[in-house]
Amino acid sequence: MPTFNNQKICLVTGGASGLGRATAQSLASHGNVVIIGDILEDEGRQTASDIAAAGGQAFFAPLDVTDREQVKAFIEMIAQRHGRIDCAVNNAGIEGSLHKVDAYPDEDWQRVIDVNLTGVFSCMKHELAVMAAQGGGSIVNVGSTGSLRGIGMMSAYIASKHAMLGLTRTAALEYGAQNVRVNILCPGGFHTPMSDRLYHGDFSGIVSGTPLGRMAPADEIATVITWLCSDEASFVTGAAYQVDGGRMAGPVLPS
């Protein structure tokens, strides 16, 4: 059970669905205040009201992470309204279309880079300024096992997730002196609307390559994010956390 020494002010981008929603619920269930930003307004408000119905504190604000002015306003609004930002989970992401590199549409490439990489950069820029000024904080960027290896047909996604790893490590080096921890979570496939879109309901390939022999529900991944945000992870920074049922340990040959 992660411990939080006091109530934290936490933001979650992409908190309307999938892992972001599970993370918002997990952080709130530990007594923290959660601010959800997402382009999906109805689903984001629903997540906040579901958390409130369960006795937690959550708020929703519309946010497109590709809009730099909106990102700045979102983070300034949280800092002004709540006085600080303790934890930021930069989770909003898209998978992009599936093509080989020579056929990858330029506009799809740009969109994936804009959301997954530049969106995280824009969020970090303002989150780090607030956290450095207040003397501490924890940022968790949601990468992927695709931050650590390739996946055929997903060049834009893989490039964006690899770059997030470099961005995470660099920020960890730059802000450790201000007690700001910056980590990246590298999950393997887990059940969300994104994995439904990618696998069309057939998860047999991913399950057979996973030593634990199953795909995780989103809340099993969210637990690790919550721990990285918590005071128990106080000496963890610059780390890439694989949460993938053992998939990255290597392939399993038939006996």
Ligand X SMILES: NC(=O)c1ccc[n+]([C@@H]2O[C@H](COP(=O)([O-])OP(=O)(O)OC[C@H]3O[C@@H](n4cnc5c(N)ncnc54)[C@H](O)[C@@H]3O)[C@@H](O)[C@H]2O)c1
Q: Which residues are catalytic?
A: 157
26 near ligand X (CB under 6 A): no
13 near ligand X (CB under 6 A): yes
Residue selected from 28, 75, 79, 115 as contacting ligand X according to rule CB under 6 A: 115
Contact between residue 209 and residue 10 where contact means Cβ atoms under 8 Å apart: no
Residue selected from 24, 33, 128, 142 as contacting ligand X according to rule CB under 6 A: 142
Q: Output phi, psi for 190, to 5 deg.
A: -140, 165
Nearest to 59 by CA among 8, 127, 11, 128: 11
Site size toward ligand X (CB under 6 A) is 29
**Within 199-228, which residues bind ligand X (CB under 6 A)?**
none
Nearest to 209 by CA among 166, 178, 245: 245
Pairing of strands 180-187, 137-142: parallel
144 near ligand X (CB under 6 A): yes
Distance from C-alpha of 22 to C-alpha of 89, rounded to nearest angstrom: 12
Q: What string marks each residue from 35 to 54 as x (binds ligand X by CB under 6 A) or -?
A: ---xxx--------------
19 near ligand X (CB under 6 A): yes
CB closer to ligand X, 63 vs 163: 63
33 near ligand X (CB under 6 A): no
230 near ligand X (CB under 6 A): no
Helix (H, G, I), strand (E, B) or coil at 175: helix
Residue 179: exposed, middle, or buried by beta-carbon count in 10 A (0-12, 13-18, 19+)? middle
Nearest to 83 by CA among 175, 9, 178: 9
Distance from C-alpha of 181 to C-alpha of 201, rounded to nearest angstrom: 37
**Within 173-202, which residues bind ligand X (CB under 6 A)?**
187, 189-190, 192-195
66 near ligand X (CB under 6 A): yes
- Which residues lie near ligand X (CB under 6 A)? 13-14, 16-20, 38-40, 63-66, 91-94, 115, 119, 142, 144, 187, 189-190, 192-195
